[in-house]
């Protein structure tokens, strides 16, 4: 069972949590077999190139144990608290789809930039991803 952290600013039902990338790196340093990942990173909180470099680095430094989840964002109150515009679902999904293409390019055999390549086996499928319409938290 992997250690999956959420990417939220508000405490929610789990209470306050550490920033996911830093906390996951700390867990990776203290373990050797534990799989690590994000429940879902909100695409709007970080530029895809910046997040791509962070998750690729985490995957390399953890020995290939990182699981990447990405979503289009759905919690308007977090956007408001962070001072980010909460655009309509179609706009967020368009940005999400654009980000998926950027991640595919960053993680390809010939990446757009000279970022560290993840150690994970190359796949033609995108990372775990949820749009507002498919987010399990919205399902019921």
Domains in the chain, CATH or no CATH each: 3-135 (3.20.20.30)
* pLDDT value at residue 8: 87
Mean pLDDT for 78-103 is 94
Least confident of 56-60, 72-76, 94-98, 110-114: 110-114
Select from 28, 61, 24 the least CA-distant residue to 41.
Answer: 24
Overall pTM > 0.85:
no
Bridging pattern class, strands 41-42 and 36-38:
unpaired
Q: Which residue has the higher pLDDT, 100 or 133?
A: 100
Percent of the chain predicted with pLDDT > 70 = 78
CA gap 75, 8 in Å, rounded: 9
Mean pLDDT for 64-79 is 93
pLDDT band of 98, cuts 50, 70, 90: very high
């Amino acid at each position: 069972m992997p250690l999956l952290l959420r990417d939220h600013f508000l405490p929610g039902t789990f209470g306050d949590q550490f920033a996911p990338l830093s906390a996951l790196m700390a867990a990776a340093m203290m373990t050797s077999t534990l799989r690590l990942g994000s429940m879902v990173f909100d695409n709007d909180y970080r530029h895809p190139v910046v997040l791509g470099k962070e998750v690729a680095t985490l995957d390399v430094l953890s020995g290939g144990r990182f699981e990447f989840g990405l979503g289009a964002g759905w919690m308007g109150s977090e956007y408001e608290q962070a001072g980010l515009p909460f655009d309509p679902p179609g706009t967020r999904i368009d940005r999400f789809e654009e980000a998926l293409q950027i991640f595919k390019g960053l993680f390809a055999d010939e990446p757009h930039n000279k970022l560290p390549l993840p150690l994970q086996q190359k796949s033609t499928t995108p990372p775990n991803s949820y749009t507002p319409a498919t987010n399990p938290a919205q399902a019921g």
